[in-house]
Structure formats: C-alpha cells, structure tokens
C-alpha cells in the first residue's frame, strides 16, 4: 500500500506542477463557526485537505464532524468563517454548488431513496433524458446500462439496476451510495461514517473504494469512530473536540493508540505539541 501511496504522491506533484494554484490545498476552511441557536457546534475551526490526500476526520460523538462537512457541502451556512477551494475563496450555499465544485458526499444520516431503483438513485438529480418533439423522457435504458458499467468501474458488480433499493441490505446500499460518489466525484469524496453498519468484508470494500478515489486523483475526507480503519487509509488525521481542532497529525508521526487516546482524553502527547507566539497552545 505504501509503495502505491508514494507513486501516487509523485504523480500528484507532477500533475500539480502545471496548475496555477498548485501550492494551495484543495480545501482550506478558516475560522469556521456554526451555531444552532445556543448550541455552538463549531467554534473557530481550521480544516485543510491537500490534493490527493486522504484525511481522517476524528473526534468523539457530538464533536462537530458532521456539521463541519455539512458546511463544506452547502448543507449548512457557516455563522462565520471562510472557505477556499482550489485556491479561490468560495461560497458554498447549496449542495448543488458543492457538486459543481466536484465534491461528492455520502452522508451518515441521508441514505438512498428506498422506493427508487438502483439506477434512479444512481442518477438522482442529474437524470439523462431524451426528447421527442416538445416532450422530455427519462432515458431508463441508458440509466440502467450506465449504472451497471459505472459501478463495475469502481469494483461493484450488480446483475440488474432496476431492483428497488429498499430490498437491499445496509451494506449493499452503502456500496451503491459510495460507488456513485466515487464515480461522479471529481475533486473530493466525503465519507461520513461509511462503515458503521457494514460487515468485515463490506468494510474492506469501502477501504478499497477510498483508495480507488485517491487513484483517480481525488482527495478524501473519511470520518469514522474506528481508529484502525482510518489508520489504514488516511495520510493525515485531524482530531476535533467540542467544535475546536485538537490537532493535525500525519500518519507517520502518531500511532493508532496515540490517536485513540487523544480522542478520549483531549490531550496531545508532549512530543507532538505545537507552540505559538504566546507560548503553549490551549492543549499544551
């Protein structure tokens, strides 16, 4: 896996050398606040994702992980703060805008539409149509064939795309949702707790899709409570606590155990602490 990783990094560097904003991160969220009435879900959080990087976003229940990615995907408007994407400041005021930027998300709490077929779910919001005279029709045949092919592209094999999603298992649905996001995503894939309902085999597939997205040149934000999974896939970890960032750590500087301890205790090990102009940071 690591050989693969370094080859990809070189490819990313080569690719980005030509781009105008190559030095900037893909995503740079600065001083993000999000209040829901008196609940301060995010309190001045900075969050960065580099190009072709898999970031594990970690923190205890209620830390603000889902809220942070919902701000990035246009689901919530931040109370305060700036978002830069690809070097430019952006206002992501709707999920459609996020998708236009190349961001695809599999949400923790928004599944597929159970009563619709796999194909309809796959193409939801961007259905191909054909026109006869003044009338527009959904191109069912194209949707079904292309869904089978597109899912096969990312390693998911289904016999038919006209089956209703409601009859599928949790793991199968999650596979379709992720396959869809990997297929349509151009720049950034966000997975919020993608494996919480999955078996061991299904989980391994999700980890494979995560690498597939990186191979495609995408960056990935991977949210999970399972430290060993995220340690396997992520290049870097961002740990948040009560709406603030506890720290950023690259995989080679922290062990799985240290990451787990930081999430529970909120304390950064002495050797990893950063200093700022005023002396020690809050967590030091």
CB of 63 to ligand ATP, least distance (A): 4
E strands, 208-271, in order: 219-223, 236-241, 244-250
Based on the shown chain and the rule CB under 6 A, indicate whether residue 77 belongs to the binding site for ligand ATP: no
Residue 61 found at the interface with ligand ATP (CB under 6 A): yes
66 is an interface residue for ligand ATP by CB under 6 A: yes
How many CA atoms, within 13 angstroms, populate the side-chain half-sphere of residue 3?
0
With contact defined as beta carbons under 8 Å apart, do 73 and 92 qualify? yes
DSSP 161-204: S-SBGGGS-HHHHHHHHHHHHHHH-SSEEEEESTTTT--HHHHH
Residue 194 lies near ligand ATP (rule: CB under 6 A): no
Task: Give me the residues that bind Mg ion (CB under 5 A), please.
Answer: 65-66, 108
Q: Which residues contact 188 (CB under 8 A, 6 or more apart)?
A: 26, 27, 49, 101, 102, 103, 104, 218, 219, 220, 221
Q: Which partner from the list ligand ATP, Mg ion, none does 39 bind, CB cut-off 5 to 8 Å by kind?
A: ligand ATP
Pattern 85-124, ligand ATP, x by CB under 6 A: -----------------------x----------------
User: CB under 5 to 8 A by kind: which of ligand ATP, Mg ion, none does 247 bind?
Assistant: none
- Footprint of ligand ATP on 29-48 (CB under 6 A): 36, 39, 41
**Eight-state DSSP code of residue 26:** S
Contact residues toward ligand ATP (CB under 6 A) are: 36, 39, 41, 59, 61-67, 108
């Amino acid at each position: 896996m690591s050989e693969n990783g370094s080859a990809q990094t070189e490819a990313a560097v080569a690719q980005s050398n030509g781009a105008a904003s190559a030095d900037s991160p893909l995503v740079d969220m600065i001083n993000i606040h999000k209040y829901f009435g008196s609940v301060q879900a995010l309190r001045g959080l900075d969050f960065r994702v580099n190009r072709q990087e898999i970031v594990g976003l970690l923190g205890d229940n209620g830390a603000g992980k889902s809220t942070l990615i919902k701000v990035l995907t246009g689901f919530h408007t931040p109370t305060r703060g700036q978002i830069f994407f690809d070097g430019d400041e952006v206002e992501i005021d709707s999920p459609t805008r996020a998708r236009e930027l190349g961001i695809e998300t599999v949400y923790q709490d928004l599944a597929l539409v159970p009563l619709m077929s796999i194909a309809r779910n796959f193409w939801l919001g961007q259905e191909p149509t054909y026109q006869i005279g003044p009338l527009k029709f959904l191109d069912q045949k194209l949707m079904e064939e292309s869904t089978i092919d597109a899912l096969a592209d990312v390693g998911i094999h289904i016999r038919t795309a006209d089956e209703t999603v409601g009859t599928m298992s949790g793991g199968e649905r999650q596979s379709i949702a992720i396959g869809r996001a990997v297929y349509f995503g151009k720049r950034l894939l966000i997975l919020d707790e993608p494996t919480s309902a999955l078996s061991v085999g299904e989980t391994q597939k999700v980890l494979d899709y995560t690498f597939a997205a990186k191979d495609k040149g995408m960056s990935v934000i991977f949210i999970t409570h399972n430290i060993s999974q995220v340690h396997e896939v992520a290049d870097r970890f961002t740990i948040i606590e009560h709406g603030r960032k506890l720290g950023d750590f690259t995989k080679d500087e922290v062990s799985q155990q240290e990451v787990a301890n930081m999430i529970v205790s909120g304390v950064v090990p002495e050797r990893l602490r950063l200093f700022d102009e005023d002396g020690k940071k809050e967590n030091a």
